[in-house]
Homo-oligomer: A and B are copies of this chain.
């Protein structure tokens, strides 16, 4: 068992992972192959799983810092400015000379609000473990990592555990060293598609149990409009999704992560935390893009009191 050191963390959450500039296109319908469409609405927003979760935390009132990498281009400046505007500290952001900041092209089906994403990470080198600061990592009460900056995430997760912090992992597709990452994870929150693929099963509860076997103390599998499944030593429960008008589901999972971490910071019980995270993610879907629609704490409490 790790012993939690008793000291004050400068940040509630430090997040490490990829970022992106999201190019969001709202379309009359999702085009079939070889079709031309004219979009009805366009928006450019900061994106990426960890940055979007951190923006969620900042909007809810938490103190957060982001550690990641951008190119020395317009996209990189856009990412930095949008984090700072949201109150997300970015002094650990690494600007990689000659590289291109990742982009995600998002095509949103106007009728269902579902989206498809083409992500471009071909122009940026990975974050290296030597590029991250142990001081910054150790300054967070929680560490949020994704599965894409694997080497840096492994180093950071070890440092966080040494400093008595807990680790939350968001992972979307199978990568090298996944088992090592899972072994360093306290809270695993993943999408249904990853859980089923990784667990090689069609049953979400079986997938959650399989992932639980790798060591996390809590596993949450998010199921989109079907809600989520949460498994811990106290057992398994399901949270339904809130029924809301959906404009765009982009970033809903990322926002769920941020709001879930907020519940951890408040020491809420798991059920309350998962219900809260579901609400924040649902509200976000009312606006186009991953970040614009993220609510404040007051807005979320109002929403929850009406549901």
Contacts and interface: CB of A to CB of B under 8 A. Distances in A.
Interface string A105-123: 1010100101111111111
A270 B249 CA distance: 52
Determine which residue in A31, A103, A105, A115 has the highest number of CB atoms from chain B within 10 A of its CB, and name it: A105
Interface residues of A, number: 34
A25 B249 CA distance: 22
A162 to B, nearest CB: 33
Given A31-B116, A112-B33, A38 B121 contact: yes
A32 to B, nearest CB: 7
Interface string A55-82: 0000000000000000000100000000
A36 interface: yes
Interface stretch (A39-47, A180-188, A234-242, A298-306): A39-47
A36 B117 CA distance: 5
A198 interface: no
Contacts of A35: 116-117
